Amino acid sequence: MKVLIIEDSKEFSKSLLDFFNYDGHSTDHASNLSSAYDYLSVSKYDIILLDIMLPDGDGRDFLKKIRKQNKNIPVIVMTARSEVSDRIDLLDVGADDYIIKPFDLAELEARCRAVLRRQSGQNQTCLKFKNLSLFPLLAKIEISGKPTSLRNRELRLLEIFFNSPKIFFTKEQLTDRLFSISETISENAIEVYIARLRKKIKNSKAKIENVRSIGYRLIEK
């Protein structure tokens, strides 16, 4: 999961970044709306965590603007406002969910997965392709019932393929989804993770195909 955190509090932002990075997610942080627009112009995110009161504007205006641009990125608003009217307003302007500060970080991550599950129409607890099953919450795959554990990057990469089977992803698209902008990445990083996944799923009826000059995709053998 690639997350854009839009929050001006340095201490709170660090807590969010540390939590999501420790869990193997890729994160970028914008401390104001101007930076947030810059991030969105150069990278694709699975979900946005949005504060309302920011130094250069109101998060609700940001939300309205990206919805007018037909950006359907899931957005969870982090707000200190608990009035029912405030929460209704957030949903009306395009928020997918909201969470009241202060909150437990584990609850926030659970809400992220719930929003992504609703958006994709899939059961994110167990994703299936042929005889290969992926369990994101357990970081493992099963091939005809036989389990194999996954490392964090392997899990995130395989999630991308499972959520869009048979769809090609270029190396650049996978790099963008798997790593944050601030990370230093070797040129062959994607090939390394693809090779690892191929070994782990080699006994299944699925394979990761590479078509030169087009990209990678998950298909049936």
72-102 pLDDT, tens per residue?
899 999 988 767 777 788 888 899 999 989 8
pTM above 0.85, yes or no: no
Do strands 215-220 and 132-135 pair parallel, antiparallel, or not at all (unpaired)? unpaired
pLDDT of residue 164: 84
Q: pLDDT grade, residue 52 (50/70/90)?
A: very high
pLDDT of residue 85: 76
pLDDT of residue 87: 77
DSSP annotation of 144 reads T
Residues 33 and 58 in one domain: yes
Tokens read off for 6:
């839009």
Domain end position, chosen among 72, 101, 120: 120
Residues 143 and 47 in one domain: no
Domain end position, chosen among 104, 120, 136: 120
Residues 67 and 176 in one domain: no
Q: pLDDT grade, residue 180 (50/70/90)?
A: confident
Number of Cβ within 10 Å of residue 211's Cβ equals 9
| pLDDT at residue 40 greater than cutoff 90 | yes
Residues 162 and 189 in one domain: yes
| pLDDT at residue 123 greater than cutoff 60 | no
| pLDDT at residue 30 greater than cutoff 70 | yes
pLDDT of residue 124: 60
The CATH number of residue 203's host domain is 1.10.10.10
Q: How many residues does the chain have?
A: 221
Q: Which residue has the higher pLDDT, 119 or 139?
A: 139
Of all residues in the chain, the percent with pLDDT exceeding 90 is 58
Residues 108 and 211 in one domain: no
Q: pLDDT grade, residue 122 (50/70/90)?
A: low
Positive or negative CA dihedral for 135, 140, 142, 146?
A: negative
Residues 96 and 158 in one domain: no
Residues 10 and 82 in one domain: yes
Residues 8 and 90 in one domain: yes
Instruction: Please give the average per-residue pLDDT across 62-71, as a whole number.
Output: 90
| pLDDT at residue 107 greater than cutoff 90 | no
Residues 17 and 114 in one domain: yes
Residues 136 and 67 in one domain: no
| pLDDT at residue 168 greater than cutoff 90 | yes
Residues 114 and 141 in one domain: no
The edge-to-edge listing of strands for the beta sheet with 132-135 is 127-129, 132-135, 140-143, 146-149
For the chain, the domain total comes to 2
The edge-to-edge listing of strands for the beta sheet with 47-51 is 26-30, 2-6, 47-51, 75-79, 97-100
Residues 92 and 192 in one domain: no
Domain end position, chosen among 60, 90, 120: 120
The single-letter code of the amino acid at 13 is S
Q: Please give the residue range of the domain that contains residue 21.
A: 2-120
Among 139, 144, 173, 143, which residue's Cα sits nearest to residue 158?
139
- Are 147 and 141 contacting, i.e. CB atoms less than 8 angstroms apart? yes
